[in-house]
Structure 1
């Protein structure tokens, strides 16, 4: 698929997704390889704030893909609330995680998503997130 940076408002070194694997009206899936230089890597582990940002950026990539399909600019947004965040394992350097977000509800500029992160066949983190979509990137 196309360059991930064209789909999300974030820029290096704060990019926590590598590739958009799938996007449709309600679901987005991304992959991300953990590298030693990542700002959220500590003692070889990709830490919890990185997992949360990965989920949020997966949602952003899906929304960005949809916006591009509609010839609209990619919107910026921010995390408004996190609910039921569970971490079962932390990925390490060179691991590739796959993240899926599903839109549960969307009203005006507020989107509620459910996010899950897999490492191989195991879910390593999940949460519900409230995202507020704000201005546009130019």
Structure 2
């Protein structure tokens, strides 16, 4: 069940949900939030970090997925009137990138929470471009103490 009443695309609100700041903000919108999953969007522009020759390169795709995980945690804290914590990527495995998106494209990334314990979150993520899966990965993130 989506616990989000409506899409959040206001940059000021999004910055309350993630610890990242420009120029490395890689989230344009929060579109869905449940107890076990989150969906975000990224509209790619020439100003997006990791864009080179009109393409978002691999590190940008990975960072976007990691920020989607941060968005999950940050929104949970936000709805409980707490500040979003900082965190780190602890591990990445099974990364498969099938296509690099271009400037003007909008990515949709869904992250499903596999396990969450003591500040460590294990997730499986899928990034789509026009309903085509362009990246999958598993990540482990760790909250800063």
**Structures share a fold, TM > 0.5?**
yes
Structure-1 separation of matches of 2:14 and 2:115: 25
Aligned counterpart, 2:80: 70
Structure-2 separation of matches of 1:7 and 1:124: 25
Structure-2 separation of matches of 1:65 and 1:11: 16
C-alpha displacement of 1:25: 1.1
- Runs of 4+ in structure 1 deviating by more than 4 angstroms, as ranges, are none
For residue 100 of structure 2, the aligned residue among 87, 90, 110 is 90
| Structure 1: segments with no counterpart, 5+ residues | none
Aligned counterpart, 2:43: 33
C-alpha displacement of 1:67: 0.5
Query: What TM-score comes out, normalization by structure 2 length?
Result: 0.90
CA RMSD of aligned residues (A): 1.0
Q: Which has the higher contact order (CA 8 A, sep 6+)?
A: 1
| Structure 2: segments with no counterpart, 5+ residues | 1-7
Structure-2 separation of matches of 1:52 and 1:13: 16
Matched, 1:132 2:126: no
Matched, 1:50 2:60: yes
